[in-house]
Amino acid sequence: MGAAFLTPHQKFTCVASDIPRNRSQCSYNTTTPEGVVQEQRCTKWDFDNSTYTRTITSEFDLVCDYSFLRATFKSVYFLGAFVGSVLNGWVSDRYGRKTMHMAGVLTFVILGNALSWLPNMSAILFARFFMGVGHPSSTETGYSLVMETCEPRLRSIIGIIVYLPWCFSLITLGGFGYLLRDWRWLMFTVSMPGLLYLPVLWLMDESPRWLIVRGRHADALRVLRKASRWNKVELPPDDQLFEIMADTQSEEKEAQGHEADSPRGLKATLRDVAAGAVVLLRTKKIRMITLCLYANFLVVDSVYYGLSLGGDRFGVDPFAYMALGGVMETPANTLTIPLVRKLGRRASNIMCFVVSGVSLLALGVTPSGISWLVTTMIMIGKLAITAAYMILYFHANELFPTEVRQRGMSTCAMVAKIGSITVPFLVEILGSIGSWVPLVTFGGAALVAAGITSRLPETRGVAMKDTVAELEDSGVQRPRSVTFLTPNEEKKEAPLTVLRRPSQSSGNHL
């Protein structure tokens, strides 16, 4: 999110001796002694430093022919995150959650500090890309580590709490941006707290579930014993624990379809991803669900990051805008669970998309000079789209049958990354037309997503499907009885009993 302060849109004027007075332009006309008019490209600019003292935009002259590099700076990070997402699942399964989490955090700390001193734009973009590659390892793997070591009854609340530091960091970032206003010192300052986290990494244990699946039962027992001492919980005898571990490992092997202690190669993993995508589009109902979710993930990621990073194009105070965005995300992350319990997944998501869409579309007729009103309307849209983001992940997880759930969620995350990769360019292009244009575009996209969501089935109180076949068969009218011939060739009718799997008898009561 710091990119909003590092490569903002700034007013500039062309500095050239041939121009009688400086103007905001990229080229100008000159007349030769022979009276020939020639177009000259401006090569030096003077930037408005009333908001920032030094930015990447002003230091490297990212205007005119090089203005695309502002969006590239933001986009290249998400491109790295896209690559990291493809690699992260395979690498973390092979080398462990803790190892990959440590690698991701170290990548952030080292490259974040180095980026604040790099001398040229190529090196800066290179560092940004690899910071993005490390993003899934530090966040997604860290989330998996928390969930795999958390007590089941606390997973819902912990799953929400782990997002709150993100909200607080946005508030803090707005404050640091206001106080420093120099991109190098800002980057250095926000990267330094990562050093305080390094000692925690050495105290952190590996996920006991990952150790069990990998067959390292003795190491898993050590972690469990340590946890039992800290939580003052009595564990079963070692032999009983080893038996439970062996059963868990066997179940995981069966679920994966290959040896859990012999991770597959990267090529095989990528081949499985491709095959999984085919399964998600092969039959009618799963195809409809998949395509609807792909569209919604694309919209929600684009709108969320477009609003988060585009403050410099919306005519608002960038520092207050960032801090208020963090404030808005706090209720969005904490109130979604009671909301979906009350209204259900589909209705809640439609409501959030509609609120976001209407508030952003209203900015098309809101006077841009009323800054507080513009900021308020954007913040309402930001709160609603953040809540929609949370609910969408929750809903999608229940819509995909068990056998394709991991594939479905992984591909949805990849489609979402495509949205975040492209949206900086969208904001840059549309923002040059008018500050309201990207906002109205995001509002329209949110309303389209609301319409798409109405096509998705509700999952509250409904048993999650185990297979694609079950999903395709759901809702199909079955005959209640069957007619057959007796040995005497008499027609008789008998009720048809359809046996269901035990897992289907229990609904989702959240």
In a domain, 451, yes or no: yes
Whether residue 380 has pLDDT greater than 60:
yes
Tokens matching residue 89: 């699942």
Q: And the tokens for 291?
A: 């395509």
Q: Give the DSSP letter string of 313-360.
A: GTTS-HHHHHHHHHHHHHHHHHSHHHHHHHH-HHHHHHHHHHHHHHHH
Q: What is the pLDDT of residue 468?
A: 76
Q: In the prediction, which pLDDT does 152 show?
A: 64
Question: Is the pLDDT score of 71 beyond 80?
Answer: yes
Residues 220 and 326 in one domain: no
Cβ atoms 15, 48 nearer than 8 A: no
Q: In whole angstroms, what is the distance from residue 37 CA to residue 33 CA?
A: 10
Same domain? For 237 and 315 the reply is: no
Distance CA 49, CA 10 (A): 8
CB 444 within 8 A of CB 302: no
Q: How many domains does the chain have?
A: 2
Give the chain's radius of gyration (CA, Å).
27
Q: In sequence order, which ranges of 182-237 are alpha helices (DSSP H)?
A: 183-191, 193-203, 208-213, 217-231
pLDDT at 275 over 80: no
pLDDT at 477 over 70: no
User: Distance between alpha carbon 128 and the CA centroid of its chain, in Å?
Assistant: 17
Please determine, for residue 504, whether its predicted confidence score (pLDDT) is greater than 50. Answer: no
Q: Which residue has the higher pLDDT, 324 or 333?
A: 324
- Rounded CA-CA distance 7/1 in Å is 11
Reply yes or no on whether the pLDDT at 39 is more than 50. Answer: yes
Q: Between the ranges 38-47, 78-87, 259-268, 381-390, where is the mean pLDDT highest?
A: 381-390
Q: Decide if pLDDT at 111 tops 50.
A: yes
pLDDT at 295: 95
Residue 27 carries which DSSP code? Answer: E
Let me know whether 239 and 361 are in one domain: no
Residue 138 pLDDT level (bands cut at 50, 70, 90): confident
CB 386 within 8 A of CB 331: no
The per-residue DSSP string of 45-90 comes to EEE--SS-SB-HHHHTT-SGGGTHHHHHHHHHHHHHHHHHHHHHHH
Domain that holds residue 435: 289-461
Question: Which of 199, 182, 220 has its CA nearest to residue 53?
Answer: 182
Provide CB contacts within 8 A for 387, sequence distance 6+. Answer: 332, 335, 336, 339, 348, 352
Do residues 320 and 378 touch, judged by C-beta distance below 8 A?
A: no
Where is the domain boundary, 438, 461, 484?
461
With respect to residue 165, please indicate whether it lies within any of the assigned structural domains.
no
Q: Is residue 438 a part of any domain in this protein?
A: yes
pLDDT for 265 equals: 54
CB atoms within 10 A of CB 230: 8
Q: Is residue 365 part of a domain?
A: yes
- 435 is a domain residue: yes
As to burial, measured by CB atoms within 10 angstroms (0-12 exposed, 13-18 middle, 19+ buried), residue 474 is middle
CATH code where residue 343 lies: 1.20.1250.20
Measured between alpha carbons, how far is residue 336 from residues 142, 315, 348 in Å?
22, 30, 8
Mean pLDDT, residues 151-170 taken together: 76
In a domain, 198, yes or no: no
Judge if 228 and 300 occupy the same domain.
no
What per-residue confidence (pLDDT) applies to 130? 92
- The closest alpha carbon to 163, from 412, 333, 313, belongs to 333
CB 435 within 8 A of CB 315: yes
At 489, the pLDDT band (50, 70, 90 cuts) reads low
Is the same domain home to 348 and 456?
yes
Query: Which pLDDT band, with edges at 50, 70 and 90, does 260 fall under?
Result: very low
The last residue of a domain, from among 461, 483, 498? 461
Judge if 368 and 240 occupy the same domain: no
Q: What is the DSSP letter of 152?
A: G
Instruction: Specify which residues 263 forms β-bridges with.
Output: none
With beta carbons less than 8 A apart as the criterion, state whether 311 and 322 touch.
Answer: yes
Coil, strand or helix at 257: coil
Confidence at 441, pLDDT banded by 50, 70, 90: very high
Q: How does 264-287 read in b/e, with b if 16+ C-beta sit within 10 Å?
A: eeeeebeebbeebbebbeeeebbe
Q: 231 and 337 share a domain?
A: no
- Domain-embedded: residue 311: yes
In a domain, 84, yes or no: no
> Which residues are bridge partners to 45 per DSSP?
14
Question: Do 418 and 355 share a structural domain?
Answer: yes
Please report the pLDDT score of residue 224 as a whole number: 83
If you ran DSSP here, which 8-state letter would residue 182 be given? B
Q: Are residues 381 and 443 in the same domain?
A: yes
A 10 A CB-CB count for 178 gives 16
pLDDT for residue 228: 81
Give the distance, in angstroms, between the CA of residue 224 and the centroid of all CA atoms in the same chain. 31
| pLDDT mean across residues, the chain | 81
pLDDT confidence bin for 484, thresholds 50/70/90? very low
Average pLDDT on 208-232 reads 82
Same domain, 293 and 252: no
Beta strands 491-495; 481-485: pairing state = antiparallel
Q: Report percent pLDDT > 70 for the chain.
A: 81
Verify that 296 and 400 share a domain, yes or no: yes
- For 50, the token pair is 């009333």
Name the phi and psi angles at 369, rounded to 5: -75, -20
Q: SS3 for 485?
A: strand
Which residues does 450 contact at the CB level (< 8 Å), separation at least 6?
A: 349, 350, 353, 354, 357
User: What is the spatial distance between Cα 103 and Cα 259, in angstroms, rounded to a whole number?
Assistant: 26
Q: Which of 418, 439, 461 marks a domain boundary?
A: 461
Query: What number of other Cβ atoms are within 10 A of residue 162's Cβ?
Result: 16
With H, G, I as helix, E, B as strand and everything else as coil, classify residue 378: helix
* Distance (Å, whole) CA 112 – CA 130: 10
CA dihedral 316, 418, 73, 384 (to 10 degrees): 20
Average of per-residue pLDDT across 314-324: 88
Are both 334 and 389 inside the same structural domain?
yes
Higher pLDDT: 453 or 271? It is: 453
For the cut 90, the answer to whether the pLDDT of residue 475 exceeds it is: no
